[in-house]
Structure 1
C-alpha cells in the first residue's frame, strides 16, 4: 500500500486552508475550487444519454413526491399497464409464429411445403420468452453449502416482505442484482459482486441485500417476468435485423429490406424503455427505503457513499491485476497460490479513504447526476430521500460470530474470484 502523504495549503481561489491527501484530488470545500477537475465523459449511445436525462427528471419529480408522502407505495400506473400489454403482445407474436409454423408443417407434410413451417418454428423457438440464465463461469453458492448466508438473506427478505432466493452466484463486478432465472419456473437468483461485498460494513451488506430483495416486492415492472422476457425477445429480434457490414450489392438490398423492421423494433424498444423507466425509478426509491428498514438509515446512506467511490475499487483491482501481469510467471504462481491478498489490500485502501474525498464525490455526483446505471435515479437524490425521511433503526443485525460463519462460507468463492482477477485481469 502506498504511503499516505498529507499536506496543507491555501486555496488559490478563496485562500481557505486545505488539508490534502496526495492520493486524491486536492480541492476546496469552501468555494469548490477543483472539486471536479475532469470533464464528464459523454455516453456513446444516444438511447443511453436520453435515458439518463429522463432518469434524472423522473428522479427529481419522484423525490418531491416521496418527501411529500410519508409512506410512498408501489403503483401500477397507466404506463406500467401499457408496458405489460406490449409485453403480452410481443409474446403473442411469438405464439402466432409457433402456431403458424405448426399449421404449415401439417399442411405441407411430406413435401416442400414443410419448409415455411420449419422456418417459423425455428423463429418462434429463438424468440421464446426466456428469463435470465445462470452465469456459467462464476462460483455458485448452494443453500446447503452456505446455510448461514442464506439464513441472513431469508431474514432480510422477511423484513422487506418477500421470500428468499433460490441460488446465489458470485462474480467480480462492483455491483449486485436480482433476477428471475431458470425460465418460466421463476426461480430467483442473486448475483453478488464480491468486490462490492468486500468493501461494505456488515450493516451495509444487509442494506445491499434489503435493496436487492425489495425489487421482488415493490412492483418493479422491469423485474416482472412478462416485461423482462419481452424486452429480451425484442432485443433478439433487433439483433436479427442488424445491417450487414461492408455489404455486397445483394447485401445492400438486404440491408434496405431490413431497415423498416429494424426501425420499428427500435421504436418499440424505446417506447417500452420509456414506459417502464418511471416505475423503475420509483422501485429504486422504494428499495432504498426497505434497505433502510432492514439495516438502518445510517447503513443505507453509507451504502450510497460506497457506491460513489466505486471507481476506487476498480482502480485498486486493476492495479493488482496489472502488478501480477508484470511479474510474469511469478505473478501467475501467486495468483494460483491464493486470491485473498487482493481483498486485504482492497479493504485497506477503502478504509483509508478520507472523509473529504467522500464529500467531494458527493458534490461531483450532484453536479454530474451520478447514478449506478442509466435506469437508476441519481445517487445524490437517493441519498437525499433517505436523509429527509425518518431515521430508521436496523431490523436485522449481525454479530461477530455470525459474520465469521458467513465469511467462512464465502471463503471458497472469495479465493476463486480473487485468483481470477489476478490471473485474468479485472474487467477483461
Structure 2
C-alpha cells in the first residue's frame, strides 16, 4: 500500500468518524435544547411543551446499542462449553477474544455483532451454512467472523455502527405517510428536508466506509486461513458460491412439507424436520465440481459492483490461493466435532422446525 493510498484511507476513516459524531451530536443537541426549554421557559408556559417535544424526539431518534437476537435459540457458555472452547481457541489465533453468546438461526450465513451498552459479543450462526461445512471449513468460518473483531472492522465499531443504525432509524421515522388528513400533509412537508438530509448523510457515511468494509472481508479471509488452513478457507468460499442453492433447497423442503393439510400435514412437517440438515448437507455434497467452476466463471464475467460491501467470491478465493498456504492452527478432530454437534443438537431441532414451518414465504 502506497503512502497516498494509506492517507486516503485514513482520511476517509476520519471523515466517517466525524460524520458519525455529528449524527450523535444531533441527538445530544435535542436533549440539551429540550432540557433548557423546560428549565428556563416556565415563565412563558409554551417553551416547556416544546422542550418536552424535543426530548420525545430525542428518545425516538436515540442511537440503539442493539440487543441479543431473540428470534431463535441462544446458547451461552454453560450451554455449549465445547463450542465456546473452540471459539475461544480460534479467537486467540486470530488475535481477539471470544463471544458471550451464540445465536442460532436457519440462515445460509454467519455474522458477528455486539449488543448492549457493554458491547457484549455475539456470533450469529446460520445452520444453513454451518451444516454444509466440514470441520476445517467450520473452523475457517469462525476465523473469518472473529477476524472482523481482530482487525478492527470500521463498521463494527460502536460510534460508526450506532450512527449507521441511527440514520436508518431517522430515514424510516421521517418517511412520508399517506396524506389522509391535513396533518399528514403538514408532516410530510416539514419532514421532507430533514429526511433528505438524513438520507444524504447515510449515503455519504456508507460511501466513506465502503472500502474499509471490503478490505475487512479480505483480512477476515486471512484469519480464516490462519485458523482453519488455506484449504479450509478456500473450501468455505466455494460453499458460498452455492448459497442460493441451499436457500432454495430449504424453501423447497418447507413448501413440500406444507402441501398436505390436517393430521397428515402435521405428520409430514414432523417428518421433514427430522434429518433436515443431513439432507441439506447431502444436497450440497451432490453439487459437481464443474458447477463450482461455472459459478466462478459467471462471477468473474459479472464483475464487481463498487457498491458491494463484500468483494466478489472469486476475488476472495484468488487472494487466498496467491498467498503461502497456511496449515491451520486450530484442530477440530472427530471427537471435538461430535461434541460440538451434540451441543448444537437441541438448537438444530428448534431451527429445523422454524425453517419447515415458516421458510416457505
Normalising by the residue count of structure 1, what TM-score does the alignment of the two structures yield? 0.78
User: How many Å separate the matches in 1 of 2:174 and 2:83?
Assistant: 44
Partner SS state of residue 137, structure 1 = coil
Deviation of 1:362 after TM superposition, in Å, equals 1.0
Matched residue, 1:221:
154
Of 128, 133, 143 in structure 2, the residue corresponding to residue 200 of structure 1 is 133
Q: Does 1:394 align with 2:328?
A: yes
CA contact (8 A) 1:370 1:379 kept: no
Partner of 1:327: 260
Match of 1:297 among 215, 223, 230: 230
Q: In the alignment, which residue of structure 2 is the partner of 1:275?
A: 208
Q: How well do the aligned residues superpose, as a CA RMSD in angstroms?
A: 2.1
The answer to whether 1:175 aligns with 2:109 is yes
2:86 is aligned to 152
Q: Structure 1 residues 332 and 112 mapped into 2: Cα distance closer, same or farther (>3 Å)?
A: farther
Matched with 1:384 is 318
Runs of 4+ in 1 over 3 A off after TM superposition: 108-113, 246-254, 333-338
Q: Residue 207 of structure 1: SS of its match in structure 2?
A: helix
* 1:297 positional shift: 0.6
Q: Structure 1 residue 412 and structure 2 residue 358: aligned?
A: no
- 1:164 pairs with 98, 112, 115, which one? 98
1:108 offset after TM fit, Å?
Answer: 3.9
Question: What SS is found at the alignment partner of 1:326?
Answer: coil
Q: Given that residues 258 and 269 in structure 2 are in contact (C-alpha distance below 8 angstroms), is that contact kept between their aligned partners in structure 1?
A: no
* Counterpart check, 1:139 vs 2:73: yes
Alignment of 1:60-75 (within 5 A): none
5 Å-filtered alignment, 1:349-388, equals: 349-369=283-303, 374-388=308-322
Q: Give distance in 2, aligned partners of 1:194 and 1:361.
A: 22
Task: Provide Cα deviations, 1:280-328, integer angstroms capped at 9, x if missing partner.
Answer: 1111111101110110111111111100001110121111101111122
Unmatched runs of 5 consecutive residues or more in structure 2: none
Aligned match of 1:256: 189
Residue 163 of structure 1 and its aligned partner are, at CA, apart by 0.4
Aligned length: 354
Pairing 1:116-131 to 2, within 5 Å after superposition: 116-131=50-65
Q: Give secondary structure in 1 for the equivalent of 2:112.
A: strand
Secondary structure, in 3 states, of the residue corresponding to 2:103? strand
The match for 1:234 is: 167
Partner Cα separation in structure 2 for residue 331 and residue 171 of structure 1: 24
Helix, strand or coil for the counterpart of 2:155? helix
**TM-score, with normalisation over the residues of structure 2?**
0.92
Distance in 2 of aligned mates of 1:206 and 1:327? 40
**Which has the larger share of helix?**
2
Shift of 1:267: 1.1
Contact 2:137/2:228 (8 A) holds in 1: yes
Distance 1:249 1:123, change over 3 A: closer
